[in-house]
Amino acid sequence: MSDTDKTQQHSAEDYEKRYQQGYGLVYPESHIIRFHRHILEWELKVDSGKMFDFGCGSGAHPKYFSDHGFIPYGCDTSATAIEQCRVLMPAYAHHFSVTAPVTPNLVSLTSEGTLAVFLSNQVLYYLDDSGIRDIVRQAHLMLRTGGVFAVSMMSYSCWYARYITGEQGDFKKVEMDTPRQKMTSFINFKHRDALEPLFQPFRKLHLGSYGSHIREEEGSTDHWFFVGVKG
């Protein structure tokens, strides 16, 4: 197993432990709701179809989209999280799959050219650039013409970057030791100008950001949010 594969395996095992300990969203995050309401509904007039969530966790975002006219699909490396998805959405239980942390085969999970939306929220930065490009390639195959690709990446202005202690390939090693969080992560941080080339061949529709700063000693949780369209 290569160092990169070990890094991605570390992230998958870390999140499996978190889900077993009760980690996971109960409600959709505000930027996902705004993406749905401001871009899909208002701007693009997309209000139905298949949506796929890469790294769906316990299912809060697929459930939100299923409640608003979409047919949800998703995958995650955590078996615990996928079981939670299936309980949350029993009518679509067979639409959720456990996938490998390295080179997952997503195209086999839906028919090619049928998705309206491909979403990946706060997940892709646990992959190296090669892994990200592979997900982009598969997403392009899975989406229909005019389909929407929406993903987030961690910014260097996120407070996590304060705790970078080294690097390994495309990843920065982050060793956090704060009263609230004690963990080691490997994160593929990105500057804004790196995203559009990374997400080709999708045509950029929007490249914005989101974040919050709740605890003054921690700093902002800045992430980029890229929305592209399949031509």
Burial classification of residue 162, based on how many CB atoms lie within 10 Å of its CB (0-12 exposed, 13-18 middle, 19 or more buried): exposed
Residue 177 and residue 46: Cα distance in Å, rounded?
43
* Interatomic CA distance for residues 92 and 8, integer angstroms: 28
**pLDDT tens digits for range 144-154:** 999 999 999 99
- pTM of the predicted protein model: 0.95
Q: What is the 3-state secondary structure (H, E, C) of 45-78?
A: CCCCEEEEEECCCCCHHHHHHHCCCEEEEEEECC
Span 48-105, pLDDT tens digits: 999 999 999 999 999 999 999 999 999 999 999 999 999 999 999 999 999 999 999 9
Q: If pLDDT is split at 50, 70 and 90, which confidence band does 8 have?
A: confident
* Pairing label, strands 164-168, 171-177: antiparallel
CB atoms within 10 A of CB 206: 14
- The 3-state DSSP class for residue 199 equals coil
